[in-house]
Structure 1
Amino acid sequence: MKIYLCILSLFICSITFAQTTVSGSVKDSKNEPIPGANIKVEGESTGTISDGDGKFTLSTSKKPPFTLEISSIGFGTQKVSVTSNNQNVTAVLADEETQLDEIVVSASRTPERLRESPVTVERFTTADVKRTASPTFYDGLENLKEVQMNTSSMSFKSINTRGFATVANTRFMQLVDGMDNSSPLLNFVLGNLIGVSDIDVASVELLPGASSALYGANAFNGILFMKSKSPFINEGISAYAKYGQTSQKAAGNNEYYDYGVRAAKKFNDYFAAKANFTYMKGTEWHATDYSDKTVEGRDRSHHNYNGMNVYGDEASTNIRGVGQTLAGMGLIPASAVNLLPNENVSRTGYNEVDLTDNVVRNAKIDFSLHARPFGNENFEIIWQSKFGFGNSVYQGANRYYLNGFEMQQHKLELTGKNFFIRGYVTSEDGGNSYDMLFTGLNINKAWKSNETWFGEYAGAYIQSTLGGATPTQAHATARNVADTGRLIPGTPEFKNAFNQVTSNSDVIVGSKLVDNSKIYHSDANYNFKDQIKFAEIQVGGSYRRYDLNSFGRIYTDTPQFGGIKYDEYGVYTQVQKKFMDDRLKFTGSIRYDKADNFDGNYSPRVSLVYSAGEAKNHIFRGSFQTGFRNPTTQDQYIGFNVGNAILLGSAPDNLTRYNETLPVTSALGQALVGGTTTTIDGNNAYFNSYTKESVDAFAALASSNPVAASALLRRTNVDLVKPETVKAFELGYRGQYEGFNIDINGYYNIYNDFIGNLTVVAPLYGTAQDSPDPLLGPTNPGAQSVDALASGNVRAFQLYTNTDIEIKSLGFGVGLSKKLPKNFEVSANYNYAQFDFDQSKDPSFEAGFNTPKHRVKASISNDNLFKNFGFNVSARWSDEYMWESSFADGMIDEVTVIDAQISYGIPSLKSILKVGATNLGGTEYRQLLGPGLIGQQYFVSLTINP
């Protein structure tokens, strides 16, 4: 608390320096004001931006004479001489399509004009932030070409480019002020839960496709760069407040609000500081998909129902097997067993909406201290701390409620004209987060054990059948009897059981997720352009340490084995050279990365950019690069019980770190293991198991023809997970024609050793074999494994492995934009994507392309439709596509979404009032299976500028 009070005091204290003040206005050629124009002192970082009426005031410690540089996107730059204090200036900027001259940094780790970028780059500017019709700038990124957004929660959205989308997108990297803000434990980006405030965004750049040559292993499918404003350039106090309503059939109409404040102060040329605070609260999109996860068309009336957003009904067992157990205990006559059907019955589950408070919250706090020892931007020292707190829903193999989740980052950075050195730590705390599936399972077990419930069900079914009931009637009666005493959501008894389950991390009785993991990261870069003149040469490198600590709840970091720590490091170099009167630009780079448990990887990239035309405004580019992705912490060290399977990573030491003692019920099995239990470990999963598909085929035939059924069994044949690689080819064109800005790109990717999931079934005894013969007798290892399968003495695993089949993907995109008369701007883009994978060669492997083949986006806007009024309308469409994941598989429907906003500038208050609405058509839609349907959102916001 003391450090925060200290920071606040810096903004409250009044410190006076000798300063020059310049005021003025910025207008276009039609004498209309230009809001958001950049005004800076030439050769210095000192600057400001114009308000909604085009006016500005700038203070600097520099004494006249000096020069102001005034610029804005879509206009030319003008220089104005300042010769006296308190001078008033008027700048008139000429219309100019300057998108090709915009400066980007991400593609080559050095400032370069967009026209010279060797690969596709998409930008989201401060002007885009102001005009977006989305509730936040991060939501507005969905309208960028190449971006595919996947919504798991109102506050948790995952960005993806170029296919293979997931919620936990470990193939995509996101950097905020140079810091990777992915989860230390699970390695994927948590949207903007810890990111940048709308009023602190300086720039956003998107680099779709493989970027491993400069950014390492996780920049496999793309990378997003978000940069916040510097207090040296943008100072003052700004704030925003949004209030509105979300509307969804399942949840009804609910309030939504979001507010934030930014305070920044440049005390002199040597020291500046800033602080941000934002808070958002709303009602979650209710997840109410009650279709069966495994059998299309099945509903709650079925005795073995397993609902998509229902939890606890995963507890399922063969009811005739229950009868056999009861008969063996003398509780029912043996003759009654055959009255029970030879099929599974599931327990009655609880709806997801009854297992969460359905409230989404997110608070972000950050502050930074900036020192320039020499009074200029050639050397700057930055300390930055960021904190994110909140509630959200994350979806992996199950649905998880992140309740009181906390993540923080602390960075020390030294940056200068040609270099940077930074080090930061990211840590997270799971708070009171919990797994919804185990919450449902264990609340059920809290009021009645599974053995008692299924026993009562079997007894009631027999009685109903003897009374003349049909099978359907008998199932209904049996469920009513077994459900006697069921805890009802909303009652004190239910709440008590819920609190006990969600506060216990033991999956036998609880569902709490425990996490206190960290990432330690450092990287550095130096550009030799001032020392070496024949070409621009850079060198750099990075080092990262993972420190995983889930206390054995998610990973195999139990007290018995201790925490999990492992390292990654990489080094790279890049050479750029221009030829042919600077029309041809060559870029070549290579990076070497090494991680514990894996061999090192080289990632080269070469590209050529040619600027044709008299004005060099027709730019052609081509590149080839290889990318790679190291297996994540999950791929290597997870040991997570998700109910129907164990998620098991394949790091060599993880196979023995995971072990489990399970009951053996078969007489043969008990004789073989020498008791009623046996202990297995990860070696059973990877080296002594059957593919799930063959076990399912076996089960369907086993009762009628066990020999033929056994012939269908196939032993799992997988290797331990290793890095996946991609060869990426890209061609593109940027240019201007008849006033249109055109950007066309095409890519072709070849993936090898693609990482995915494979579900297997391991027998608790015996040896897994292809087509084992059950007639060889109890001494045969293959026949023993068949007995284990037939008697249910098995454990299912979901493994992380690579496919030997080569996967290919290709796509192209076209983007058009044009500035029309009377300040109108229009833009449109189209993306095509497809992939090629021969499923028949590896039927058990799930690639999960999860991307629409066709996507179209368009917008029309006018920042100054008439005095102080502006508007923006954006639309996007995508066709249907197949979604595959460890949670559920199914089709995502075609969707059209239209968002709109109108804004009004209030010059006297330096404010902008905005009224916006999303999904104006009102048709609720989804972007993946599992989360709630996305409804409508209406909001009004007021932003106050410095």
Structure 2
Amino acid sequence: MSSSGTPRLAWRSILLALALALWPAVAHAQSGTLRGTVAGRDGEALAGARVTVVGTRLVTSTSPQGAFTLRGVPSGTHQLRVSAAGFRDETSEASIRPGEETLVAIQLEDKPYELDAVVISASRQSERVTEAPATITRIGTDQLDAAVGNTFAGALKEVKGLDFVQVGMTSVGINARGFNSSFNNRMLMVEDGRIMVLPENGLPVGQFTATPKVDLGGIEVLVGPGAALYGADASSGVISMETKDPRAFPGLTMEVTGGNRNYRDVQARYAGVLGDWGYKVSGEYQEADDWSNRLTLVSGIARAWRPTDVGSATVAPEVSPGGVNGLNWDASVARGTAAVVRYFGNSRLELSGGGSVTDGVGQTSVGRNQLEGWRYNFGQLRFSSPRWYANVYRAQSQSGESWATNRYSQAYYPNLARPDATRMTDEQLVAASDWPSDGRMYAGEVQYNSRVPMLLNSAVVLGTSYRRDVVSSDRQWLTDRLTGEDISINQYAGFGQVTTPVMPWMDVVLAGRYDIHENYDAQFSPKAGVVVRPVPGQNFRVTYNRAFKSPTILQTNFHIPDWNAITVIYGNTRGFTVKRPDGTVFREYAPLQPEENTTWEFGYKGVLGDRLFVDVAHYRSAYENFMSPLAVIGDPLNAGLGGQPAGTSVWAYDADGNRLNTAAGGPALALTYYNLGAARIQGTDAGINFVVTPKINVRGTLSLIEISDVEVDAGREESTALNSPEMKWTLGGSFQDFGRLTGGLTVRHVDEYYFRSGVNRGFISGFTTLDANLGYRIDRFNTTVNLGVSNLFGCGGNFEYDDKDLLRATPTNENRGCGFGQKHTEMINMPEIGTMVFLGIRYQTR
């Protein structure tokens, strides 16, 4: 070969490089700029409207002033499509000339119903539900206002894919896609970008939130792994709540509600704008005489109390101070928030804070807690602009005078047998059963988002976050009891997502998050997906997610060597070995590590005929290293509670080879957390919303799930318990503006299923319930009267078991019925739920 080919190849390479370098300039010379405004029917500017040049990758959103700019638009005549929440899509023509600027003004018509809402949670940036690469549901202000009851939780009953568990008049449990528990922390709760987690135990803040429902502007529920953008606590999904902006929701709102079981609630919110400043304040007081039940511990397993339990030496009926049968089920909460906002053109800076105080009863995997004066508070500063988002906050939870009811009951009866001179007082017993906690979270996040023309106009989201948890148990039940110092844990993370329109009708989504935790190995959570849009408003998607659930401070730092005379409880940071009395090893438990969830999802979402919204997703998930609930590993009592066959004993040893003993020095019934098992599940979540007329709509959801390929050691099946129904569905309909009337009906069905979490074991009877709501608007007085009835009619019941059936796996009888006021059970060892009636009056000015 001639050497002259080398210079020729070099020149070709140089010319190609110059051509590639000059191509953007050439393309720019053949393009122009499109600038315009988007307004509503009355001429008001529409912020966040989506503007797309059809057939290209060019897309943008309008500013708070309704303005937009698109550069690099190819010359020629194009179709311009504009969409905004609450308005009909508009398509118009725009002619672009090379190097020139084209001005357009677009006005949208009102749409009386919204099938394709704008959401943020799925990709951390604005997009339509039909464009989101995930299963996501948005609940708007209208739905929140019409929700049965006076908490935000009632609006979650009809979210597809969500397990909604009513455990009281005002308290609920939430889970998604299986593996529920009595102490569930697989769902991440976020409010205004603030992680809503109790640092001391990893549970969602839930009913302890400081925000009244009248200040909630919307809720987005992301079902499925969300760790790629949200981190460790989003293994099963994300519930993201946003509060109302003073400028968008000014004026006074007051709501007074009463109901059965002495339910009473007062909420109020006032907001306004002074120039470039906005402000708001909100508050609520709520209380009710909740449903109640009594429990008895039999061989460490809880069951309903019976009259024959009195005086029995083999059982421990639940009791309150003074020997009162049962607990105090009077539930109450006082909460409030305030905020000041400074507006800077397209940007805003907000300083907010709030707090709550709650009383009631909460469940754990080893019993129940009497909540007395539980406090939660936060302070937050956040900044947002079209490109940047920054957020810093401090949150704190304190258990107040709360105490563990089972620990008190187990100490109460032996105390009665002691001589009067050595008998403990009720106050001393409560003090020995309390669990003081002070959990503080210090966190911050910075996020940048933009579109990159050189990357096919890709939408890019980049961010970093920091979190520091500082927890104290007052040196009583965590490892600060040993060290004399508060427990502190630092976490760092970086995340990003790129959505590339490789074709005008197809997006490729790549995302990932890298979490560094000082107590275990760093975790990488990848996400990948392809979204195909054959026509506007419809998409098919395939996504891959890997998420993880990290151990909480409770799971790693629990430390109670004297829970009672025979029981010790320890967190798992170094591992344990369990041996038979002859010294041979029965089982080894490694140090606790994060649980992993890998999920493939295939879905379709679309609006058909401008009246029918369909969302169907099928998923396949593989779980590894399940983190167990608090469970027995050392059982010298021969009861078979440590995973060994009944009639044999096993003793637990720590990583240094020391046997875990009771306070008196004998072998202990030892409890801890561990990783064990693997499982594969598959399921389908589907939802429809059909607009019959602009005033009437019908909606429904269906969820199916099944577990397969379970790998778990004999005796430790609790680790992989699905704890969710194989099928559940809802069917509802609503009407609006019939004269002054608004209302609806919803039927909810949950199949029977087996639940096993610690001492809470047994079958939850399948149930079907009917909810109804009716509102009447009195325009003259800016007032609406709302009547809501939950469980108006239902079918359900409960099971009975033999005391020898420790797993509650073989019911001896089922008490079941149908009718008005029919009660049913939604959580093992919590009260049956009956009819709930709420009558409220809302006054609102703007």
Please classify the TM superposition score into its range, dividing by the shorter chain length.
0.7 to 0.9
| Residue matched to 1:425 | 394
Equivalent residues of 1:176, 1:196 under 8 A apart: no
Distance 1:903 1:558, change over 3 A: same
Equivalent residues of 2:302, 2:367 under 8 A apart: no
CA distance in 2 between counterparts of 1:209 and 1:115 reads: 17
Name the aligned partner's letter for residue 216 of structure 1: G
| Residue matched to 1:930 | 829
Name whichever of 923-932 and 146-155 sits farther off.
Answer: 146-155
Equivalent residues of 1:73, 1:99 under 8 A apart: no
Equivalent residues of 2:699, 2:733 under 8 A apart: yes
Name the aligned partner's letter for residue 449 of structure 1: R
Does 2:627 align with 1:728?
no
Distance 1:449 1:836, change over 3 A: farther
Does 2:228 align with 1:257?
no
Distance 1:370 1:635, change over 3 A: same
| Residue matched to 2:411 | 442
CA shift, 1:158, in A, is 2.1
| Residue matched to 1:638 | 558
Name the aligned partner's letter for residue 349 of structure 2: I
CA distances 1:624-669 after superposition (whole Å, capped 9, x unpaired): 01111211112211124554633321123xxxxxxxxxxxxxxxxx
Equivalent residues of 1:689, 1:762 under 8 A apart: no
CA distances 1:159-203 after superposition (whole Å, capped 9, x unpaired): 111111124221110001111121121111132321532221211
CA distances 1:97-149 after superposition (whole Å, capped 9, x unpaired): 6523x211111111111111011111111121133234433222122111112
| Residue matched to 1:851 | 724
CA distance in 1 between counterparts of 2:318 and 2:273 reads: 58
| Residue matched to 2:459 | 536
Equivalent residues of 2:115, 2:689 under 8 A apart: no
Report the 3-state secondary structure (helix = DSSP H, G, I; strand = E; otherwise coil) of the residue aligned with 2:825: coil
The structure where strand makes up a greater share of residues is 2
| Residue matched to 1:41 | 45
| Residue matched to 2:212 | 197
Name whichever of 834-843 and 623-632 sits farther off.
Answer: 834-843
CA distances 1:461-518 after superposition (whole Å, capped 9, x unpaired): xxxxxxxxxxxxxxxxxxxxxxxxx9xxxxxxxxx9444432x2xx3xxx22211121
Higher alpha-carbon Rg:
1
Report the 3-state secondary structure (helix = DSSP H, G, I; strand = E; otherwise coil) of the residue aligned with 1:128: helix
CA distance in 1 between counterparts of 2:328 and 2:827 reads: 22
Distance 1:96 1:296, change over 3 A: closer
With structure 1 as the length reference, what TM-score do the two structures score? 0.70
Equivalent residues of 2:578, 2:588 under 8 A apart: no
Distance 1:43 1:721, change over 3 A: closer
Please list, as runs of the form range in 1=range in 2, the aligned pairs for 1:675-824 lying within 5 A after superposition: 686-689=576-579, 715-737=586-608, 739-757=611-629, 758-761=631-634, 793-803=666-676, 805-821=677-693, 823-824=695-696
CA distances 1:194-252 after superposition (whole Å, capped 9, x unpaired): 1532221211101111111111111101100000111122111111111111xxxxxxx
CA distances 1:665-699 after superposition (whole Å, capped 9, x unpaired): xxxxxxxxxxxxxxxxxx7xx12445xxxxxxxxx
Equivalent residues of 1:689, 1:760 under 8 A apart: no
Name the aligned partner's letter for residue 683 of structure 2: G
CA shift, 1:573, in A, is 1.6
Equivalent residues of 2:287, 2:332 under 8 A apart: yes
Name the aligned partner's letter for residue 427 of structure 1: Q
Equivalent residues of 1:605, 1:625 under 8 A apart: yes
| Residue matched to 1:387 | 355
Report the 3-state secondary structure (helix = DSSP H, G, I; strand = E; otherwise coil) of the residue aligned with 1:846: helix
Distance 1:420 1:92, change over 3 A: closer
Name the aligned partner's letter for residue 751 of structure 1: Y
Name the aligned partner's letter for residue 405 of structure 1: W
Equivalent residues of 1:763, 1:793 under 8 A apart: no
| Residue matched to 2:292 | 286
CA distances 1:402-456 after superposition (whole Å, capped 9, x unpaired): 1011010111112211111111111112111111112223333443329999xxx
CA shift, 1:918, in A, is 0.9
Does 2:548 align with 1:628?
yes
CA distance in 2 between counterparts of 1:528 and 1:631 reads: 34
Report the 3-state secondary structure (helix = DSSP H, G, I; strand = E; otherwise coil) of the residue aligned with 2:214: helix
CA distance in 1 between counterparts of 2:530 and 2:301 reads: 52
| Residue matched to 2:280 | 274
With structure 2 as the length reference, what TM-score do the two structures score? 0.77
| Residue matched to 1:551 | 474
Does 2:521 align with 1:599?
yes
Distance 1:301 1:198, change over 3 A: closer
Please list, as runs of the form range in 1=range in 2, the aligned pairs for 1:5-154 lying within 5 A after superposition: 40-42=44-46, 73=86, 98-100=114-116, 102-154=117-169
Report the 3-state secondary structure (helix = DSSP H, G, I; strand = E; otherwise coil) of the residue aligned with 1:634: helix
Unaligned runs of 5+ in 2: 1-39, 50-63, 67-81, 93-106, 649-656, 794-820
The structure where helix makes up a greater share of residues is 1
| Residue matched to 2:243 | 228
Distance 1:236 1:44, change over 3 A: farther
Name the aligned partner's letter for residue 882 of structure 1: Y
Report the 3-state secondary structure (helix = DSSP H, G, I; strand = E; otherwise coil) of the residue aligned with 1:439: helix
The equivalent position to 2:438 in structure 1, one of 512, 516, 519, is 516
Distance 1:498 1:562, change over 3 A: same
Report the 3-state secondary structure (helix = DSSP H, G, I; strand = E; otherwise coil) of the residue aligned with 1:286: coil
| Residue matched to 1:342 | none
Distance 1:937 1:44, change over 3 A: closer
CA distance in 2 between counterparts of 1:178 and 1:98 reads: 25
CA distance in 1 between counterparts of 2:773 and 2:157 reads: 16
Report the 3-state secondary structure (helix = DSSP H, G, I; strand = E; otherwise coil) of the residue aligned with 1:717: strand
| Residue matched to 1:693 | none
CA distance in 2 between counterparts of 1:769 and 1:874 reads: 43
Name the aligned partner's letter for residue 802 of structure 1: N
CA distance in 2 between counterparts of 1:793 and 1:890 reads: 32
Equivalent residues of 1:156, 1:394 under 8 A apart: no
Distance 1:222 1:797, change over 3 A: same
Does 2:488 align with 1:565?
yes
Report the 3-state secondary structure (helix = DSSP H, G, I; strand = E; otherwise coil) of the residue aligned with 2:245: coil
Report the 3-state secondary structure (helix = DSSP H, G, I; strand = E; otherwise coil) of the residue aligned with 1:558: helix
CA distance in 2 between counterparts of 1:932 and 1:713 reads: 44
Please list, as runs of the form range in 1=range in 2, the aligned pairs for 1:218-367 lying within 5 A after superposition: 218-245=233-260, 254-268=261-275, 270-288=276-294, 300=306, 345-346=314-315, 350=319, 354-367=325-338
Name whichever of 351-360 and 404-413 sits farther off.
Answer: 351-360
CA distance in 2 between counterparts of 1:237 and 1:286 reads: 37
Does 2:530 align with 1:618?
no
Name the aligned partner's letter for residue 831 of structure 1: S
Equivalent residues of 2:490, 2:517 under 8 A apart: yes
| Residue matched to 2:371 | 402
CA distances 1:373-403 after superposition (whole Å, capped 9, x unpaired): xx323x2221110201110221112200110
CA distance in 2 between counterparts of 1:135 and 1:812 reads: 31
Distance 1:931 1:130, change over 3 A: same
Equivalent residues of 1:539, 1:572 under 8 A apart: yes
The sequence identity of aligned pairs, in percent, is 20
Distance 1:222 1:617, change over 3 A: same
Name the aligned partner's letter for residue 352 of structure 2: Q
Distance 1:43 1:731, change over 3 A: closer
| CA RMSD, Structure 1 to Structure 2 (Å) | 3.6
Equivalent residues of 1:163, 1:849 under 8 A apart: yes
Distance 1:713 1:43, change over 3 A: closer
Distance 1:559 1:851, change over 3 A: same
CA distances 1:518-575 after superposition (whole Å, capped 9, x unpaired): 1111111111327866322221111111111012333121164322111111111211
